[in-house]
Amino acid sequence: MDKQQIFMIICVISVCLLVLGAIFVAQGKWDKSKGCDLNRKLSLDDKIVPSVAQFEYDMCQKSADLMLKWSTPLLVFGAIATAVCAVIIGTIYIKEKRNL
């Protein structure tokens, strides 16, 4: 493997981090607004115990908070890593073209 292939792999991984951060933002915001609706959960299932529903609601809220907390570092790191990799790959490509 040459340098360009290694940086391409790193670039693909950083783009995946960007996508994961975007998914975390979307899912976290959806859970905060509609996904963790305690009243809807209780109205859908008559047999659910209210304390269990409350526990599920609390876990859903914590999960949404955690996703929103980690989305920013993922997006920032992914964006920086993608930009750096793109510049390095471009530089390697230009140097190889000049040597031909």
Tens of pLDDT along the chain (100 residues) come to: 787 788 889 889 999 999 999 999 998 888 888 877 777 666 666 677 778 778 888 898 899 999 999 999 999 999 999 999 889 888 988 988 888 7
Angle, nearest 10°, between helix axes 3-30 and 50-99? 150
| pTM for the whole structure | 0.73
Query: Which residue has 């991984």 as its token pair?
Result: 13
Q: Tally Cβ neighbours within 10 Å of residue 8.
A: 17
